[in-house]
A and B are shown apart, each in its own frame.
Chain A
Amino acid sequence: MNPVLPVLIFALPVLSFGITVLIGRYFPLKGASVGILGLVVSFILSCVVFYQLQVDPTRTIDLSVTWLDFGEYTIDLGILIDRFAAVMLVVVTLVSLCVHIYSLGYMKGDRRFTTYYAYLSLFTMSMLGIVISNNLFQLFVFWELVGVSSYLLIGFWFERKPAAMAGMKAFVVCRIGDFGFLIGILSLFVATGTFSFGALFGLSQAGAISSAVLVVGALGIFFGAVGKSAQLPLYVWLPDAMEGPTPVSALIHAATMVAAGVYLVARTLPIFSTVPQIMEVVAWVGGLTALFSATIAVAQVDIKRILAYSTISQLGYMMLACGVGAGASAIFHLSTHAFFKALLFLGAGSVIHSLHTNDIREMGGLFSNMKTTATVFIIGALSLAGFPPFSGFFSKDEIMVSVLESGHVWLYWIVVFTAFLTAFYIFRLIFIAFFGEQSERSKHAEESPKVMTVPMVVLAVLSVVAGWIAIPGVGPGFAEIGGFELHHLHINWSAMGTSFLVVLMGIGVAWAIYSRRFVESRSIYNTFKPISKLLENKWYVDEIYNFFIVQPVIFFSRLLFAFDMVIVDGAVNLAGWLGVRLSKFEGEFDLAVVDGAVNGTAWTARTFGRAVRRIQTGLIQEYVIVASVAILALIIIGYYLM
């Protein structure tokens, strides 16, 4: 395949970022047209690349050029486009395109509309950079760029303090993970002298890397993924990141960036698979994250936060799939999740855009006023819950089967329970927000403009059909499309049945409590008050972090500040006072001696010059005389030397 294509896919957002930043406001739609146009082309090219690789998987590109040459070490820039990357390219460009178009409506009238689109282009560029990288170093660069654009977009409305704080929190928490990531990369690099995926995989599979290095490397990489993909214990930034514009949440904090961690782990799975202990860690972190955040989602009332915790939970699923070695299942779920979660977020954005509130208790009965939004939202919810034949069903089912077949029984039951909770909390949201009595705000709700609903419809269609590739006879199965080693994923009817059953149960319970109101939710809340409180307050994790990490740091900082004030400042002030006295003295000295010396020098030079310039008579013969005298002197010297 021509390497120009993938490079172009990456370069177009770079270009549109540059154009939008510099001269964006002179373009149609205040610069949005640039980003959208570039992305349309990128998306088409991605589809071309994807198709070409499906037709002929051997046309994988793996190119490198030397970027920095340190003699012993070289750092390469390169692209790696295989079927896996091609899938990601299509998903990223498609979701990004939908969000770009959707934002036309959602961000309409914002003062920094152009800037917003520049940030979106920056993000898309970085994300594509991650996908096409063929080495860890380059990936890390784009990884950080993604973090930056995420920070910028979360804090896009930085006039609001929570948004600014959330941006900062996201950045700092991700930095903790990135620190581990860097350690992992560098330990692998020091041990092998290369960042390249291909070389690292080969060396680790061949047993050429010591197990200690592999453990540190894999753990470090996983730590980076934990930060970026919001896993336990570094997930706390993601719910706060919902302060950003909702399309951003859909793009970055649901579909793409948070999935980058999963992508990273799936990409480096050959390294992980050589250290089974780390695989266990990955699996358990993923499973517990899935369960933990699902429980929190049950008790939330902010529509975006419910979706945020749901995202964390689903990311946990993917991580779990990676942990049990089913990279294909993880990426399959990543893709379907990207579609339906982006859809859910866009739907939520549509609701928020119309109602100007995030609180689901202030919604209710929205279905009649916002039919399109409600319909696509329900499609997304069914997909998320894993209701057949929606896409989520197939991908989640594959994960469940993988977990079961890998022999992690405990994890399997955790997954099943999480599936129940997922179905419950998302339908709780639907029954509260879209059905039942109309609230005050809902009565004035209006359907969002076409520019917002069309991307949602596109995503809804994909949410329905994306999973069908896994149906035997209909599609080739995701492992084939993603170019993974074929896992013998036969259909496990019992697992499928269980999954379907718990989903039905979850929906049913939600229906019973929030629609039919057989049981008053308030009474449940009171019956299990400690647990309810716990869930409502998100297991007090923020408070715990605050108490054990943030407060000590602040205390220590205060201590240092006090030390600073008393001793350092005292010393500085003393030095300052002394400096002032000394300067005054020096000023006098300066005027008298230094200036005197300078002026004296000038005077001497001038006087001397006045005297000497008389020699310059301009009469050539006098010059000849002087020259002759000099030669004469030489002759005399020569005479006495001879």
Chain B
Amino acid sequence: MTGLETEEILSAIVFYLLSGVVVGSSILVITLRNIFRSALFLLLAFFATAGLFITLDAEFIAAVQVLIYVGAIGVLILFAIMLTRRIQDPVAKSTTRSFILGAFVSAAFLFFLILILGKIYLPPFPETGADTEGITKGIGRMLLTYYLLPFEVVSVLLVGALIGAVVIARKEEARGGEPPEVALERERKDREITDSKPDGNGLEQNDRKH
């Protein structure tokens, strides 16, 4: 048993700090009643995860994590929240009928997961070495050679998801063969009506109309 080196202690501190942030904000994500705050803590959890990636020498993944999860998905979720609900709804119940059962099952899940992880042996981290070229180049080469086909498939999937999302989320009025100008004009009028009623958020007004 050799003594602990300073570097190890430092990295341990960083690790535990980041892990604590990830776990803590994750817990807050699922427990906070206010969905908007949940979303903010979700962003924090993602951010901390990016930090964990850096400790694992995966700078590129960390950057991607920040860009996509924090920047794109997180913002998307915030938009969705604002489109669907009033930001604060303290009256609403936030848990389901099967809250107790779900909590119990996932706790049991966690218990056995930790038990089983205790049995798994992974080799300790090898030394990174002097080569600090970074993983970006390697990933790029990998994606465009060995994983070229999955790469292309994923791009097709993204396009499909994009189109699908547009089709699903599009307003129903626009489906009836309405020319875009007419649709825009009508939407503008709707907005005027909504603005005159400070209580609504617009969408509900629209929906009430049809």
Could you tell me the distance in whole angstroms from the C-beta of B105 to the nearest C-beta in chain A? 5
Could you tell me the distance in whole angstroms from the C-beta of B168 to the nearest C-beta in chain A? 18
Could you tell me the distance in whole angstroms from the C-beta of B113 to the nearest C-beta in chain A? 7
> A-side binding surface: helix, strand, loop or mixed?
helix
Contacting chain B: which of A218-226, A227-235, A525-533, A620-628? A620-628
Could you tell me the distance in whole angstroms from the C-beta of A350 to the nearest C-beta in chain B? 82
> B-side binding surface: helix, strand, loop or mixed?
helix
Could you tell me the distance in whole angstroms from the C-beta of A585 to the nearest C-beta in chain B? 56
Kindly state the separation between the CA atoms of A619 and B119 in the bound complex, as whole angstroms.
Answer: 36
Known contacts A628-B109, A632-B109, A635-B109; A621 and B116 CB within 8 A of each other: no
Number of A interface residues, CB 8 Å? 14
> Is A619 a contact partner of B98 (Cβ separation < 8 A)?
yes
| Candidates A625, A629, A642; contact of B119 at CB < 8 Å | A642
Number of B interface residues, CB 8 Å? 14
> Is A632 a contact partner of B105 (Cβ separation < 8 A)?
yes
Q: Is B96 an interface residue (CB 8 A)?
A: yes
> Is B112 a contact partner of A621 (Cβ separation < 8 A)?
no
Residue of A nearest to B98 (CB): A622
> Is B105 a contact partner of A639 (Cβ separation < 8 A)?
no
> Is A632 a contact partner of B98 (Cβ separation < 8 A)?
no
Could you tell me the distance in whole angstroms from the C-beta of B97 to the nearest C-beta in chain A? 8
Residue of A nearest to B101 (CB): A625
Q: Which residues of B contact A625 (CB under 8 A)?
A: 98, 101-102, 105
Kindly state the separation between the CA atoms of A625 and B109 in the bound complex, as whole angstroms.
Answer: 11
Q: Which residues of A contact B115 (CB under 8 A)?
A: 639
Known contacts A635-B116, A636-B112, A642-B116; A629 and B96 CB within 8 A of each other: no
| Candidates B97, B101, B102, B108; contact of A632 at CB < 8 Å | B108
Q: Which residues of A contact B84 (CB under 8 A)?
A: none
Known contacts A639-B115, A642-B116; A629 and B102 CB within 8 A of each other: no
Known contacts A639-B115, A639-B119, A642-B119; A621 and B96 CB within 8 A of each other: yes
Residue of B nearest to A636 (CB): B112
Q: Which residues of A contact B102 (CB under 8 A)?
A: 621, 624-625
Q: Is A472 an interface residue (CB 8 A)?
A: no
> Is B108 a contact partner of A621 (Cβ separation < 8 A)?
no
> Is A635 a contact partner of B119 (Cβ separation < 8 A)?
no
Q: Is A109 an interface residue (CB 8 A)?
A: no
B-contact 0/1 string along A601-629, CB 8 Å cutoff: 00000000000000000010110110011
Q: Is B132 an interface residue (CB 8 A)?
A: no
Known contacts A635-B112, A636-B112, A642-B119; A619 and B96 CB within 8 A of each other: yes
A-B contact pairs, 5 of them (CB 8 A): A619-B98, A621-B98, A625-B102, A632-B109, A638-B116
Please report A residues at the B interface, Cβ cutoff 8 Å.
619, 621-622, 624-625, 628-629, 631-632, 635-636, 638-639, 642
